[in-house]
Chain A
Amino acid sequence: MQAFLTWLEHSWLAALVNDSSWMFPTLEALHFIGLILLMGSLIVVDLRLMGVGSDAPVEEVTRFIPWSMLGFVINLVSGVMFFASDPANYYFNTAFRLKMLAVLLAGLNLLWFKRSVYPIIVAGTGRQVELPASAGVIGGASLFLWISVIVFGRLIPYLP
């Protein structure tokens, strides 16, 4: 791991971020735009899964998921560039590790959604879909985990 971190620290990607004064603030602004795309669309979808606005057709509400994907990709790319700019500090940082753990759990939660609830939604298109109780748990877990991602991410500069 140490070898990888050292290699990354001297890579062209690290140089790209570190050698200009405007690159880091630009990436930060992009990271925040990705964050609101991701969180905004997740709030729309997850609250519906939790039972808010149950007269809104759930299969139509899930059309907001691609905005989450776009936000995630923007933040993955900008996030990898942050990491490359200072690999060792990020890798050993407690807040960063907790943030990555929360992202991983949110990914598994999404997988659970894809396998259990999403097929029911697709099968019920055009009709009033009766969501299983697990849908509410998945929606709540998603909001909790992504808010944790924001909190831990914001704490990276303040935790060892």
Chain B
Amino acid sequence: MALLSWLEQTALARYVQENPVGYPLVLTTHAVGMAVLAGIVLMINFRVLGFARTVPLHYFQRLLKLALVGFVLNLLSGVMLFVADATAHAANVAFLVKIVLLITGGVLTAALARRLAFADGVENVPQEFDTTRRIAAVSVLVWIGVIVAGRLIAYVH
């Protein structure tokens, strides 16, 4: 595709491809962002699923803001990693699976965040919270899938 080849020629792509510090720097940022984003999301899901129930949910709502910082960090570093090798990424099955899972995980986490923000004391409404718990259970699996698929990009051709 012409667009993908063009992306690989942009200044951003050239920086990642040619600057000796570029690629390791972006990759390291991506790993730290992953730890912050996926780490926090995982712990919030554990909490919603019933672990450490005595820790108030609003403590985790604060942590969600930090998770969002991790997301932005990884969106930026992810775009840089993508454009540096756009054609190969677009044809890589592991990458495509990662993106689908990432969008799913994002939607699930946004839904969870909305439920936690709206229903103050959401846990006191058992039926409501059942749905919230289901979202959390699926979200754990999806986010682990994002990481595994991402890690496999280097091995799938």
Contacts and interface: CB of A to CB of B under 8 A. Distances in A.
Contacts of A32: 34, 147-148, 150-151
Contacts, number: 100
Nearest to A56: B59
B52 A63 contact: yes
B52 A53 contact: no
Nearest to B41: A40
B63 A33 contact: no
Contact of A43 (B36, B55, B56): B36
Contacts of A38: 39
B56 A67 contact: no
B1 to A, nearest CB: 28
Interface string A137-160: 000000000010011011100100
A60 B147 contact: no
Contacts of A150: 28, 31-32, 35
Contact of A67 (B31, B46, B144): B46
Interface string A34-46: 0111111111100
Given A57-B55, A60-B52, A40 B39 contact: yes
Interface of B: 23-24, 27-28, 31-32, 34-36, 38-43, 46, 51-52, 54-56, 58-60, 62-63, 66, 144, 147-148, 150-152, 154-155
A25 B66 contact: no
Dominant SS among interface residues on chain B: helix
Chain A interface extent, by class? 20 to 34
A101 interface: no
A39 B55 contact: no
A48 interface: yes
Given A33-B144, A61-B52, A155-B28, A52 B62 contact: yes
A33 B38 CA distance: 9
B45 to A, nearest CB: 10
B40 A40 contact: yes
A40 B43 contact: yes
Given A28-B151, A39-B35, A151 B28 contact: yes
Contacts of B39: 35-43
Contacts of A29: 147-148, 151-152
Contacts of B27: 154
A35 B46 CA distance: 16
Contacts of A60: 52, 54-55
A39 B52 contact: no
B43 A57 contact: no
Contacts of A35: 31, 34-35, 39
Contacts of A56: 55-56, 59
Contacts of B152: 25, 29
Contact of A36 (B56, B147, B155): B147
